[in-house]
Chain A
Amino acid sequence: MFPTSVEETQKALEAHHYIADKGLSVAVFLALKLRRPLLLEGEPGVGKTEIVKVLAQMLGTRLIRLQCYEGLDISSAVYEWDYARQMMQIRLLEATGERDQDKVRHEVFSLEFLLKRPLLQALQSQDGQAPVLLIDELDRADEEFEAFLLEFLSDWQITVPEVGTLKAEQPPVVVITSNRTREIHDALKRRCMYYWIDYPSFDKEYRIVREKVPGVPEKLAQQAVAFVQELRKQDLYKAPGVAETLDWASSLLALGQTELSGEVVEETLGVLLKYQDDVVKAKNQARDLLARAQMFPAL
């Protein structure tokens, strides 16, 4: 379904188990309505990629994902010819005695032999529905790809020299994510609706945990979230994201815990923190943080 207001967007996302701030709902709604790409930035693990999956479900359309990396080029992002089959076709034509060069060329460079990569796929609607295109971690790609993308996002068309220009019947819903290991070029940013996803508040994160980890006891969820919230205030190299909180809550559940204890926290810190220095630091402060988390007033 296509939301007609900000409130509807927020509700629809929630119906698909994604709890979004009002600000994010506004950005998503406007991106859909004004047909602009949506640029999401934020620390790893705050749910940038997740919302795109939900968006595709919500709109009832397919999700096409392009993972970026340095050196990403046309043949892996847009299209490639199926050389092996083309070769075979040429041999076959040869065997039938075909000598007309134009005809060979026409036959070998038909859409049949074109391998469509994500950007080209994104131009195709299915049952009148444009897909959702996720361009994930654009900061990992290089400037050359960004420049190409800029053109793609404004024209919604791709030119394959041998075939001609392929144009979208209707532009896809585009979401770009970035972890900011590099600044995205201003020209590209300005084409997008921009939203910075922050770490969630206690209330929001608690709701997310209850939503995503069914069966986790209320008290455990409260304490775990409060602990993570405290942990984020510490001077860590990499603070835990929401994804880590969810992993942790699941782990605690799997270990049969009903309440946080110092022992279990120390044993499972590795689920939350991904740098050894951080783990050591957090271990030293674990008791203190735990005490604060346990003091957290019940909702």
Chain B
Amino acid sequence: MTAPTEQLLGHVVGFVRRLRDEGIVVTPGQTATFARALGEISIFDPVVFFHAAQSSLVTRREDQAKFAEVFRKFWQNLGLERFPAELLNQTPLPPKKETKARPGEVGREPRSSQPPSKEPQPIVDRALTFSETEVLKQKRFDQMSEQELEAARKLLYNFVWSPPERRTRRLQASGKEQLDLRRSFRRSLRHQGELVLLEQRARKQKPRPIVALADVSGSMERYARMLLHFLHAFSLEQTRQGVRQIETFTFGTRLTRITRTLKKRSVDAALSEVGQQVKDWSGGTRIGACLHTFNHTWAKRVLGRGAIVLVISDGWDQGEPELLAFEMERLQKSCHRLIWLNPLIGTPGYQPLTRGLVAAMPFIDDFLPIHNLSSLEMLVEALEGLGRHPNALR
């Protein structure tokens, strides 16, 4: 085989650029691999050419459909090859769940989680006094004015809390659980091979993954938004420590994963993006069906390491209660702790009697309110408390 021609390499670079425009991340190293691959294969066999490109440049299955589309358009436009459509569509993918985030757009997104800079609003700009904070903490989110919500959000970003942890199976040098022969032995050499001191090691602790499933239909939206702000603030803090263990999904009539969107954008921008995706925004809630999707598609991928699941919903479910109960049971069995957050608990005299909640209740580990800031503080306490069971298995 011969080295690819300069002209072909030019096209390769152009193609990679197009991929990047479409949101598929390709490193220069991968481009080089592809270029080298071209020297090894018969480039006139369209199938081989396509697969060489795909296996060099794509590392995520979710990107494969997009890749095939860009590939077809690009090389067809060049008129270099004829690529029959059926060859490129060998792996049909489920409809795309996430919209791509173009890096270029991120900077332009309005950061609504921060106070607007143009016209400063008094309550945001001056520091809250103690009593004002106390009043704000007790006020229900749905009774807050826009300014108060803004101030509440600001307070969220000041929460300091340590995430619940789990014992991993990795051993580290600190702690005393079992004998560390390697270190003991090395140390013994200082004493002519006499084991004077036995070194020990212990299991390492790591923060548990947190998976949030937020009901964004109608009345729930405001509370879900607060919870997401809260988790967003927390994950910012976590990212600073080099870990990121939060997965976020929204549901109404269908489940949407917004983890990736949240990484790049503010909560409000992410939610409005979700709002555009979900066509029947206030079309009711099908919790059971959404949990079904979650259990099937995502549970194995995000609940693996003793995750804590937060479901935020008022439990108004239009689906079948049997399905909801079935999926709740499965969900509870596959996570460490299943916490249901319900803003209505804050209403005096409230009893969880809706069909959906009655069905789900037996499988909920904690049933907590989420109607004001102080209930969010309660949630923090509950989460921190989860880490104190040193012998938890999952």
Contact = CB atoms under 8 A, between A and B. Distances in A.
Of B41, B48, B296, the most chain A CB neighbours within 10 A belong to B48
B42 A23 contact: no
B238 interface: no
Interface string A259-291: 000000000000000000000000000000000
A12 to B, nearest CB: 16
B66 to A, nearest CB: 14
Contacts of A195: 55
A5 interface: yes
Contacts of A108: 189, 193
Given A90-B192, A193-B56, 4 more contacts: A34-B40, A70-B305, A180-B301, A182-B301
Given A30-B55, A83-B185, A86-B185, A22 B47 contact: yes
Contacts of A29: 40-41
Given A34-B40, A142-B170, A190 B59 contact: yes
A33 B1 CA distance: 12
Contact of A190 (B29, B37, B48): B29
A87 B193 contact: yes
Contacts of A30: 37, 40-41, 52, 55-56
**Number of chain B interface residues as a range:** 35 or more
A195 B52 CA distance: 10
Nearest to B201: A73
A34 B33 contact: yes
Interface of A: 5-6, 21-23, 26-27, 29-30, 33-34, 36, 39, 41, 69-71, 73, 75, 80-81, 83, 86-87, 90-91, 94, 101, 104-105, 108, 142, 144, 180-183, 186, 189-196, 198, 235, 237
Contact of A73 (B42, B48, B54, B170): B170
Of A80, A104, A181, the most chain B CB neighbours within 10 A belong to A181
B58 interface: yes
Contacts of A198: 90-91
Complex A-B, nearest 9 residue pairs according to Cβ-Cβ distance, in ascending order: A71-B169, A90-B193, A26-B51, A189-B59, A27-B55, A71-B170, A23-B51, A70-B169, A193-B55
B128 interface: no
Contact of B61 (A23, A41, A73, A190): A41
Nearest to A162: B186
Contacts of B296: 235, 237
B59 A70 contact: no
A70 B181 CA distance: 20
B168 A70 contact: yes
Contacts of B304: 181-182
A5 B42 contact: yes
B48 A26 contact: yes
Given A26-B52, A27-B51, A142-B168, A6 B41 contact: yes
A144 B30 contact: no
Nearest to A75: B182
A115 to B, nearest CB: 12
Contacts of A237: 295-296
B372 interface: no
Contacts of A33: 37, 40
B36 interface: yes
18 contacts: A5-B41, A26-B48, A26-B51, A26-B52, A27-B51, A30-B41, A69-B169, A73-B170, A83-B185, A87-B185, A108-B193, A180-B301, A182-B305, A189-B59, A191-B29, A193-B56, A194-B54, A194-B58
B235 interface: no
Contacts of B253: none
Nearest to B91: A198
Contact of B48 (A6, A41, A142, A235): A6
A34 B37 contact: yes
Interface string B32-45: 01001100111001
A91 B194 CA distance: 10
A26 B55 contact: yes
Nearest to B36: A34
A73 B171 CA distance: 8
B97 interface: no
B170 A196 contact: no
A113 to B, nearest CB: 11
Contacts of B90: 21, 23, 198
Given A23-B55, A71-B170, A94-B193, A83 B41 contact: no
A181 B182 CA distance: 32
B20 interface: no
A40 B205 CA distance: 30
Nearest to B180: A75
A69 B304 CA distance: 12
A182 B90 CA distance: 25
A70 B166 CA distance: 13
B59 A105 contact: no
Given A36-B33, A180-B301, A194 B170 contact: no
Contacts of B282: none
B61 A196 contact: yes
B47 to A, nearest CB: 5
Contacts of B51: 22-23, 26-27
A101 B192 CA distance: 8
B174 to A, nearest CB: 15
B27 A190 contact: yes
B300 A181 contact: yes
Contact of A26 (B41, B169, B185): B41
Contacts of B305: 70, 182
B64 interface: yes
Contacts of A142: 168, 170
